[in-house]
């Protein structure tokens, strides 16, 4: 009898081990397939949860009433109002222009939006949506968005005990988006929920074709617009700072405005990090910009302005004499704190072929115009200054001033 019992136990143990082994094997295969094919498994978990819970799991796609123009992409849980309860942060896509598939519930670059569903009103509670609406009914991104929580302004949530960080939404697409929301108690406790006065107010709404950056230390936001300088990857760089006081600090023109305040300053700069070997840059406008950054000690790389001028040229002669007036400056002393107001280049001039002469090939020429501000004994502006650049041994060099 004991032998039979031992045999039975051993059989059960072995069977369970095989079952566990098969389950682990199938799980590993499923994970590998998900990784290999980039499958978004969350919708399938949601469906399984609804099936096993008897429809007790909330399906926000179903809650949207089957609107075919709206597609739920993701649902996050986060305490967005400081009351100790994790609200539902719903990402959704509207004006959908591609069919969802087993890899992605929200394919394509259709506009993205978000809403926060909260249950803090009513008994039993009302599940009420507070829309995260950028100014002018804009969207948060194209195809994808993400959120980060950073404390930017002094603000307390519903509990009034601990500081409540702001929500920074970043969106991709052909343009980069950054939209910052802060919580505000828009209705008295116990009253019906409302979003007529937004519960999550916009304090900053930025977009740029070259990117948008937020510095947590300084709270500065920097926007890069590469549109006018696409070939050379330069950009118009605008820097925004908070203004106002206390709970009303904002990047907008005022607390209720739909437009940004004017940037603290704007300049033309490299839209991406400049080349490691800057003197070999393929475009003459990069060379002239780098020269002025070096001339005004505004280049963190420690470039030498002499490396950007042609040997035995008019420009080299004036640079050796520290003749800053030749480069457009009107004050006294070495210029610093460069701000580039305008930069113009003329690709047609670069297409003129090299001309053979008795002295050899005349190098290709280019013209670049620049207008900058800098600090000498006072703030000075050069006005629009034109330069001729020559292609010498494969490098663009500044030859002479044209005006």
pLDDT tens-place string over residues 263-293: 998 999 999 899 999 999 999 999 999 999 9
Domains of the chain, earliest start first: 60-270 (no CATH), 278-401 (3.10.450)
- Could you tell me where the beta strands, DSSP code E, fall in 26-162? 70-78, 87-94, 111-121, 126-131, 141-142, 145-150
Segment (H or E) for 19: helix 2-37
pLDDT tens-place string over residues 292-316: 999 999 988 889 999 999 999 999 9
| Nearest in space to 392 (alpha carbons), one of 314, 254, 231, 284 | 284
| Nearest in space to 120 (alpha carbons), one of 80, 164, 73, 151 | 80
Whether the predicted pLDDT of 53 surpasses 70: no
pTM: 0.80
| Nearest in space to 69 (alpha carbons), one of 46, 53, 92 | 92
Look at residue 182 in the predicted model and tell me its pLDDT.
Answer: 95
Q: What is the mean pLDDT of the chain?
A: 87
Assigned token pair, 43: 């919708």
pLDDT tens-place string over residues 11-52: 777 787 787 777 777 777 766 776 776 666 666 666 666 666
* Residue appearing with tokens 């609200």: 87
Q: What residues are paired with 375 via a beta bridge?
A: 336, 379
**Is 396 in contact with 389 (CB distance < 8 Å)?**
yes
């Amino acid at each position: 009898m004991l032998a039979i019992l031992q045999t039975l136990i051993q059989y059960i143990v072995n069977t369970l081990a095989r079952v566990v082994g098969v389950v682990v094997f199938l799980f590993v295969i499923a994970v590998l397939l998900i990784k290999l094919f980039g499958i978004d498994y969350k919708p399938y978990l949601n469906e399984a949860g609804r099936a096993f819970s008897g429809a007790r799991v909330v399906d926000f796609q179903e809650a949207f009433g089957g609107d075919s123009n709206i597609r739920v992409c993701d649902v996050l849980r986060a305490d967005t109002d400081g009351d100790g309860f994790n609200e539902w942060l719903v990402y959704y896509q509207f004006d959908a222009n591609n069919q969802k598939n087993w890899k992605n519930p929200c394919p394509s670059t259709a506009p993205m939006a978000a809403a926060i569903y909260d249950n803090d009103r009513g008994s039993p509670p009302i599940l009420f949506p507070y829309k995260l609406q950028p100014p002018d009914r804009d969207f948060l991104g194209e195809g994808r968005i993400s959120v980060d929580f950073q404390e930017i302004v002094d603000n307390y949530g519903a509990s009034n005990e601990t500081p409540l960080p702001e929500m920074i939404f970043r969106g991709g697409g052909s343009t980069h988006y950054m939209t910052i929301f802060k919580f505000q108690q828009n209705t008295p406790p116990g009253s019906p929920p409302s979003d007529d006065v937004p519960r999550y107010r916009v304090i900053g709404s930025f977009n740029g074709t070259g990117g948008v950056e937020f510095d947590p230390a300084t709270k500065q936001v920097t926007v890069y617009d590469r549109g006018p300088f696409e070939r050379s990857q330069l950009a118009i760089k605008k820097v925004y700072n908070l203004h106002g006081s206390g709970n009303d600090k904002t990047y907008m023109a005022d607390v209720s405005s739909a437009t940004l305040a004017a940037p603290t300053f704007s300049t033309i700069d490299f839209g991406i990090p400049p080349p490691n070997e800057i003197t070999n840059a393929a475009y003459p406008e990069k060379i002239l910009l780098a020269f002025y950054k070096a001339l005004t000690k505004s280049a963190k790389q420690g470039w030498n302005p002499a490396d950007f001028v042609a040997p035995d040229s008019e420009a080299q002669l004036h640079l050796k004499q520290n003749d800053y007036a030749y480069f457009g400056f009107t004050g006294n002393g070495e210029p610093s704190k460069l701000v580039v107001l305008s930069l113009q280049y003329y690709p047609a001039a670069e297409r003129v072929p090299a001309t053979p002469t008795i002295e050899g090939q005349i190098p290709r020429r280019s013209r670049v115009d620049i207008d900058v501000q800098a600090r000498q004994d006072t703030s000075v502006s050069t006005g629009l200054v034109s330069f001729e650049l020559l292609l010498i041994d494969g490098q663009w060099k500044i030859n002479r001033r044209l005006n």
